A and B are shown apart, each in its own frame.
Chain A
Amino acid sequence: MSKTVSFITKNFGKYDVSSIGSYMECGGFDALKKAITLSGEEIAGIVAAAKIKGRGGAGYDMGRKLAQAKSVIAEKKVVICNADEGEPCTFKDRMLLENDPFNLIESMIITGYTVDAEDGYIYLREEYCHLRPLLLNAIRQAKTYGFLGTNILGKGFNFEIHLYSGAGAYVCGEGTALIESIEGKAGRPRMKPPFIKQCGLYNRPTCVNNVESLSLLSHILLDEDKEYQTYGMGDSIGTKLISVAGNVKHPGVFEIPFGTTVREIVYDLAGGIDGDRPIRLLQFGGASGKIASSKILDTPYTYEDLKRSGVTVGSGAILVIDDRTSLIEFLQSTQEFFSHESCGQCTPCREGNRHMKLFLQKLADGTHTDKDIKSMKKIAKLMAMSSLCGLGETAQSALVSAMNQFEDVFHVKSSEVQE
């Protein structure tokens, strides 16, 4: 396991996750104490210098996000921790929540301080409801110790954290749908603009961050030796929590330095393929991610190299599929997911997914025509270009990348069916 590192996971197993005292014994809340000696701009600057990209999937520059949130002038601002880890095959945030809950609470308080927010919300995915008691306990203890509430650490800074559970919809991982859900409405994304950084939860400027992005914050603040900067490759600095699953021998969450090759991840960390079978495909970043063939194995896991190979880091998930599942079966299962999870309000996503599903059935039956393929390419493009939110934009990523990389599978077999 020497290929993994412990930066964001450094607290794992070091303290009793139900005890704030235990957390403080291993340096807990030192980052907050340091943070309050700095200005919000300075903290945003430190994060920007560490070149942290948001870990939710879009990869937005986190330092920039914090600086923008700080610069918005408003009476009340909100910080949200997006713990609706809904991307299939993605479970790295769960490890952070389970093994280091106090660090998340501390990081949220720092974020609130950085951007002048008075309220923080943790939006926990419904399937993680077993983590509610753990988080509620952490919030309660932090409050007892004066890290939450009014006049925190005598600095005149007030901050509360509210825990909110989702109801199971994938789309609520999308920032605006998440906000609608907290507001008690159906989880359907809002149109943008207005952007949530200006008008989000209860119409307040809102800064939404992923669990992993937030968790990094306190470690970065305390990283005076710049250990984080020693990891990584090229512009992809630092480490990344990834979750590997599918037909691998040892599925799990691993903290890797950027630059580890996909082969090292799949064969060394995840133990290789069940029964040492050949790889059919790999999907990166969850169900909304693109797929690749085993040709990608020697690509270093960095934002840039993956992009060059036609995939993205996304949620940090790597799904490995061996030759027992056909490409079409895999695509059908992915499509089934999106056909179920589309919120249905915008035409391209609602109707596009429906037709994608029908097309894949034709493909499975071998009755597809050239015309069908043309139609599907057109629909895939319009979904990506004109859907209201990211769900519709990325729902056909797997299919489109499959069409590019596994062209033979889409070959029209029978000439009779041609029109």
Chain B
Amino acid sequence: MEMVNVKINNIPLKIEKGTKILEAAKNINIDIPHLCYHPDQSIKAHCRICTVEVVGSRRLLAACSTEVWEGMEIHTDTKLVRDTQVGILELILATHEQNCLTCSRNQNCDLQKLCSRFNVLNSNLPDVTEHLPIHNTNPSIIRDPAKCVKCGRCIKACKEVQGISALTYAGRSDKIAVTTAYNKPMEETDCILCGQCSVVCPTGAIVEKDDTQKVLDVLQNPKKHVIVQVAPSVRVALGDAFGLPKGTIVTGQMVTALKMLGFDRVFDTNFGADLTIMEEGSELLSRIKNNGTLPMITSCSSGWVNYMEKNYGDYLEHLSSTKSPQQIFGAISKTYYPEQSGIDVNDIVTVSIMPCTAKKFEAARPEHGRNGHQDVDIVLTTRELTKLIKYVGLNFASLPEGQFDSPLGSGTGAAIIFGNTGGVMEAALRTVYEKYTGKELKSVEFQEVRGLEGIRESIIDLGNTKIKVAIAHTIASAKIIMEKIKAGTCDYTFIEIMACPGGCIGGGGQPIKSTTDVKHLRMDALYDIDKNNPLRKSHENPDIIRIYKDFLGEPLSEKSHILLHTEYHKVKKTHDFSYLKTEEISSI
């Protein structure tokens, strides 16, 4: 490793060659202001707010993109630097909708923080904000162009992480906009509603569709029996917003908070996840035995399902027909639960807390309902739950630890790891191994399917046969596998795919600043919960055993098929080219 000597504000520093100035400054605890820079993305150098003075350089240099060199002398706080940074901030503010008090990102906005940091009190510049229409026609994501600072983070997330590029720059100069092709609504583009754009947006330009008021309304309605399920990855991310160290497990506080919010029952999506494993594992075994379509691909990630439906409509039979844990829970909450509890199904409202924006869309799919109501009525993201907890004024970190309610509140270690990329695979293998071999699986941890590489594969020994499995996260990685399947060169039997980087712990509904470092901590936390759970295999969950005995019968039974399985539809992608004046073009 080649090291160079630099000076930042006269403080000498020895640092690896090739380090960018912005990163180097962190080593001496200087935070150079930035907006377009994001630690998980390639460098853009668009916002220019990170400019610094470098001795000998004619102009200011962008700290995010400029590598240090031997003998470099950097100044981050000269008058010129400060004037430039404040000037750029003023320019951005002049074009920014400043309704901060009513903005979804109030107190959690990078632009707001910079204004506070630089004490921007007033600006002489005229307001040039363009009040373009807000894009809010889908159930997951809202885009407000008037709050966009054109940093390009969302574009990078969509392009580099997902390989989708639903969002892009259009136009130029002060008419440049971050938008979709032909400015179509998100749902009419290649967008899968994964929400990765909303996690990286520095302002409130892209946010989840806020359904907190809906929840407050039903909670305040005494006629309604409101139950809630919480996805596994929420409990290792929720603490972020309450000043707890990243990756803190807050299951108990979260349950207490939900009860204090007024939910009648607090249940666990882990129950749904364990049921998913029972069904999906059986489905896999059935496909292997009966020469069904292989490889079978998981379908828990609703962003991933959206992607398949829009892009690989001819390969939908590869998707497991088993519903996602959210929807399995939803179906049970509107059938088994009323039967068990004696509560009228018409009075039950099922709320989900999900790390995901696409889950809002999934819950609204017509196939996920019966008798005129949806299985899951309202979906909140982790970020929205944070708001609700703040709304009722709970001192979250100090809350006593509560327990999930019975009977839909239990889950095994296999279910909790659904939140990590590779977790569904590992959970499935724990059950499939025992079901297939009839032997006890002694070592339940499949280390080779864990980790954060885009694609991981492993060969699993099932006694008389070996199966090859693969795990992919992010759509960019998933595409590679799908192209293999398309080309007929794929020899996997079972594939787990999650749309978001890291799986649900890195979901599009998770707290802002869910960077890779943070994802590692959340992953470890989920594996810890699994480790400390005496039950680590889905088929050992006594409540799962009971529901099959009392209600469902066997996995893949007729009832299971009706309630726990679904089908997928090819979505036609249409692009309207009618606005093109083809006659004029051909005459040129």
Q: Which of the listed residues B43, B62, B124, B174 has the most CB atoms from chain A within 10 Å of its own CB? A: B174
B94 surroundings in chain A (CB, below 8 A): 351, 355
Complex CA–CA separation, A382 to B84 (angstroms): 5
The residues in A between 178 and 216 inclusive whose CB is less than 8 angstroms from any CB of B are 186, 188, 191, 193
Q: Is the CB of B124 within 8 A of A353?
A: no
Q: Is the CB of A354 within 8 A of B174?
A: yes
B173, CB-defined interface residue at 8 Å: yes
The residues in B between 44 and 92 inclusive whose CB is less than 8 angstroms from any CB of A are 44-49, 51, 59-60, 62, 65-67, 80, 83-84, 87-88, 91-92
Contact partner of A388 (CB less than 8 A), chosen from B48, B66, B84, B124, is: B48
Q: Is the CB of A350 within 8 A of B48?
A: no
Contact partner of B62 (CB less than 8 A), chosen from A191, A341, A354, A355, is: A191
Which A-B residue pairs are the 6 nearest by beta carbons? Answer: A344-B176, A351-B91, A191-B45, A342-B173, A354-B174, A382-B87
A186 surroundings in chain B (CB, below 8 A): 169
- Distance in Å: Cβ of A131 to nearest Cβ of chain B: 17
B171, CB-defined interface residue at 8 Å: yes
Q: Is the CB of B174 within 8 A of A346?
A: no
Q: Which of the listed residues A346, A355, A372, A382 has the most CB atoms from chain B within 10 Å of its own CB? A: A382
Q: Is the CB of A348 within 8 A of B48?
A: yes
B392, CB-defined interface residue at 8 Å: no
Q: Is the CB of A385 within 8 A of B51?
A: yes
Contact partner of A193 (CB less than 8 A), chosen from B44, B66, B88, is: B66
A393 surroundings in chain B (CB, below 8 A): 59
A386 surroundings in chain B (CB, below 8 A): 48, 51, 59-60, 62, 84, 88
Q: Which of the listed residues A191, A347, A375 has the most CB atoms from chain B within 10 Å of its own CB? A: A347
Complex CA–CA separation, A188 to B45 (angstroms): 12
B581 surroundings in chain A (CB, below 8 A): none
The residues in A between 330 and 347 inclusive whose CB is less than 8 angstroms from any CB of B are 339-347
B88 surroundings in chain A (CB, below 8 A): 347-348, 382, 386
B466, CB-defined interface residue at 8 Å: no
Complex CA–CA separation, A393 to B59 (angstroms): 9
A382 surroundings in chain B (CB, below 8 A): 83-84, 87-88
Contact partner of A350 (CB less than 8 A), chosen from B45, B62, B126, B176, is: B176
Q: Is the CB of B60 within 8 A of A342?
A: no
A304-345 Cβ-contact flags toward B at 8 Å (1 or 0): 000000000000000000000000000000000001111111
Provided the pairs A351-B95, A372-B124, A382-B83 are in contact, do residues A341 and B48 lie with their beta carbons within 8 angstroms? no
A340 surroundings in chain B (CB, below 8 A): 173
Q: Identify the A interface with B (CB < 8 A).
A: 169, 186, 188, 191, 193, 339-348, 350-355, 358, 371-372, 374-375, 378-379, 381-382, 384-388, 393
Q: Is the CB of A375 within 8 A of B124?
A: yes
Q: Is the CB of B65 within 8 A of A344?
A: no
Provided the pairs A371-B124, A388-B45 are in contact, do residues A347 and B91 lie with their beta carbons within 8 angstroms? yes
Q: Which residue of A lies closest to B588 (CB)?
A: A129
Q: Is the CB of B43 within 8 A of A191?
A: yes
Q: Is the CB of B59 within 8 A of A347?
A: no
Count of chain B residues with a beta carbon within 8 Å of a chain A beta carbon: 37
Q: Is the CB of A353 within 8 A of B48?
A: no
Complex CA–CA separation, A388 to B128 (angstroms): 22
What does DSSP make chain A's interface, helix, strand, loop or mixed? helix
Provided the pairs A351-B92, A358-B128, A386-B88 are in contact, do residues A345 and B169 lie with their beta carbons within 8 angstroms? yes
A347 surroundings in chain B (CB, below 8 A): 46-49, 88, 91-92, 149-150
B303, CB-defined interface residue at 8 Å: no
Complex CA–CA separation, A344 to B176 (angstroms): 6
A-B pairs with beta carbons under 8 A, tally: 110
What does DSSP make chain B's interface, helix, strand, loop or mixed? loop
Q: Is the CB of A344 within 8 A of B174?
A: yes
A351 surroundings in chain B (CB, below 8 A): 91-92, 94-95, 174
Q: Is the CB of B60 within 8 A of A385?
A: yes
- Distance in Å: Cβ of A339 to nearest Cβ of chain B: 6
Contact partner of B44 (CB less than 8 A), chosen from A191, A372, A381, A385, is: A191
A352 surroundings in chain B (CB, below 8 A): 91
Complex CA–CA separation, A97 to B66 (angstroms): 38
Q: Which of the listed residues A169, A355, A375, A381 has the most CB atoms from chain B within 10 Å of its own CB? A: A355
Q: Is the CB of B83 within 8 A of A378?
A: yes
B174 surroundings in chain A (CB, below 8 A): 339, 342, 344, 350-351, 353-354
Complex CA–CA separation, A340 to B172 (angstroms): 8
Complex CA–CA separation, A342 to B169 (angstroms): 14
Q: Which residue of A lies closest to B171 (CB)?
A: A344
Complex CA–CA separation, A375 to B214 (angstroms): 46
Q: Is the CB of A375 within 8 A of B47?
A: no
Q: Is the CB of B172 within 8 A of A169?
A: yes
B47 surroundings in chain A (CB, below 8 A): 346-347
A188 surroundings in chain B (CB, below 8 A): 169, 172
Listed by A's residue number, 25 A-B pairs whose Cβ atoms lie within 8 Å are: A191-B43, A191-B44, A191-B45, A191-B62, A341-B172, A342-B172, A344-B172, A344-B176, A345-B150, A346-B46, A347-B46, A347-B47, A347-B92, A350-B176, A351-B92, A351-B174, A352-B91, A353-B173, A354-B173, A371-B124, A379-B91, A381-B83, A386-B51, A386-B84, A388-B62
Complex CA–CA separation, A339 to B128 (angstroms): 14
B152, CB-defined interface residue at 8 Å: yes
B125, CB-defined interface residue at 8 Å: yes
Complex CA–CA separation, A351 to B123 (angstroms): 14
A344 surroundings in chain B (CB, below 8 A): 150, 169, 171-176
Q: Which residue of A lies closest to B62 (CB)?
A: A191
Q: Is the CB of A387 within 8 A of B91?
A: no
Complex CA–CA separation, A378 to B82 (angstroms): 12
A342 surroundings in chain B (CB, below 8 A): 172-174
A387 surroundings in chain B (CB, below 8 A): 48
- Distance in Å: Cβ of B216 to nearest Cβ of chain A: 38
Q: Which residue of A lies closest to B67 (CB)?
A: A193
Contact partner of B91 (CB less than 8 A), chosen from A345, A355, A388, is: A355
Q: Is the CB of B87 within 8 A of A379?
A: yes
A191 surroundings in chain B (CB, below 8 A): 43-45, 62, 65
Complex CA–CA separation, A191 to B66 (angstroms): 9
Q: Which residue of B lies closest to A187 (CB)?
A: B172
A354 surroundings in chain B (CB, below 8 A): 95, 128, 173-174
B65 surroundings in chain A (CB, below 8 A): 191, 193
Q: Which residue of B lies closest to A357 (CB)?
A: B174
The residues in B between 569 and 587 inclusive whose CB is less than 8 angstroms from any CB of A are none
B51 surroundings in chain A (CB, below 8 A): 385-386
Q: Which residue of A lies closest to B177 (CB)?
A: A344
B91 surroundings in chain A (CB, below 8 A): 347-348, 351-352, 355, 379
A385 surroundings in chain B (CB, below 8 A): 51, 59-60, 80, 84
Complex CA–CA separation, A393 to B60 (angstroms): 11
B60 surroundings in chain A (CB, below 8 A): 385-386
Given contacts A344-B171, A375-B125, 8 further A-B contacts (CB under 8 A): A351-B95, A353-B173, A378-B83, A384-B59, A385-B51, A385-B59, A386-B60, A388-B45
- Distance in Å: Cβ of A130 to nearest Cβ of chain B: 13
A169 surroundings in chain B (CB, below 8 A): 172
Q: Which of the listed residues A186, A351, A352, A374 has the most CB atoms from chain B within 10 Å of its own CB? A: A351
The residues in B between 22 and 59 inclusive whose CB is less than 8 angstroms from any CB of A are 43-49, 51, 59
- Distance in Å: Cβ of A350 to nearest Cβ of chain B: 6
B84 surroundings in chain A (CB, below 8 A): 381-382, 385-386
Q: Is the CB of B173 within 8 A of A339?
A: yes
Q: Which residue of B lies closest to A341 (CB)?
A: B173
Complex CA–CA separation, A386 to B48 (angstroms): 6
B44 surroundings in chain A (CB, below 8 A): 191
B45 surroundings in chain A (CB, below 8 A): 191, 346, 388
Q: Which residue of A lies closest to B44 (CB)?
A: A191
B80 surroundings in chain A (CB, below 8 A): 385
B171 surroundings in chain A (CB, below 8 A): 344
Complex CA–CA separation, A343 to B95 (angstroms): 17
Q: Is the CB of B173 within 8 A of A355?
A: no
B152-178 Cβ-contact flags toward A at 8 Å (1 or 0): 100000000000000001011111100
Complex CA–CA separation, A355 to B94 (angstroms): 9
B95 surroundings in chain A (CB, below 8 A): 351, 354
